[in-house]
Amino acid sequence: MTEHAHSHGHSHSHAHGVAPDADRRWLRSALILLTAYMAVEVVIGVVAQSLALISDAAHMLTDAVSIVLALVAMRLAARPARGEYTYGLKRAEILSAQANGITLLLLSVWLAYEAVQRLISPPAVTGGLVLVTALSGIVVNLICTWLLSRANRSSLNVEGAYQHILTDLFGFVATALAGLIVLTTGFERADAIASLVVVVLMLRAGTGLVRESGRIFMEAAPAGVDPDALGEHLVATDEVVEVHDLHIWQITSGQPALSAHILVAPGGDCHKVRRSLQELLSGEYGISHATLQVDHVGEQGAHHDVLTLGPRPAADPERQAGHCEDAHGPVHRSGPRRR
């Protein structure tokens, strides 16, 4: 196959709202605050015999771990591409996000089991101690939520840590309400019910993180991008006859990439077509990392074929249709669409 043009859109307009160093600073501040409060909460939870407080403390432990993973992933992702890792270690951030999601799901299973046990046989709970601790936890989590909101949440890695903290905040609200109910009514099962509320929130956040990180690992198209519609858009460009081997994926969160083989009508300006397509991809789809192989129709012959911009003899229709025996994915052609 004769290559006419390869173009790599390496402008990478993936600007973060803040610098990576600032991201790390916000995350480190939240980590210090969470770790200090978590140690206090464990002690109080044991004294008060409150599963809601202990579950919140356990969740805060996963919060701390998620931030540590995020910080490590940021450092790895910042390393330049070299050797076998031609994209660098950017997907370390996605590994971190997936680990955060899985820990949320596993912890939710354990807490659900414990909560059901306490619904059946509720222990004595010190409601006043639970209420005061939960209210202070709300304050701590509000501060941590604000700190992480200052970081770049377009990164799935940072979003994973943020979801941990946000879920914990809602959990503290539920725990505070449980403490108030126990204190005023003596209904001790409220503590276990609050734990189940936390479980639901953890399941929701964990499922979302695992699903989104899984899409990136499976190299699915970015959310909101329909590959078939995009292919039809490309083939509708002037002088484009066919688009095949179209692949759209994400290197990491916020960094979509595309590759495709483009066939241009005989006599068409391949360079102009390639520039037009890259401008379309960048401007309308936000894909600035695009690798386009552009050829004239009928130039996929022997290796000694000479590449020209002028008209060539008409290609054999049967050969043209099957010039690529293994087209990886749908083929988009100009003209009337087959039904």
CATH code of the region 227-303+320-333: 3.30.70.1350
Order of all β-strands in the sheet with 5-8 = 5-8, 289-296, 255-264, 240-252, 332-333
Look at the domain 20-218 and name its fold: Alpha-lytic protease prodomain-like (1.20.1510)
- Tens of pLDDT, residue by residue over 147-180, are 888 877 667 778 777 877 887 788 788 888 888 8
Q: What's the whole-number mean pLDDT along residues 258-264?
A: 93
Please state the rounded mean pLDDT for residues 9-13.
39
Same CATH topology for 20-218 and 227-303+320-333?
no
pLDDT at 65 over 90: no
**pLDDT at residue 262, rounded to an integer:** 93
Confidence band for 117, pLDDT divided at 50, 70 and 90: confident
| Domain range summary for the chain, segments of one domain joined by + | 20-218, 227-303+320-333
The amino acid present at 98, given as its one-letter code, is Q
Q: What is the mean pLDDT of the segment spanning 101-114?
A: 86
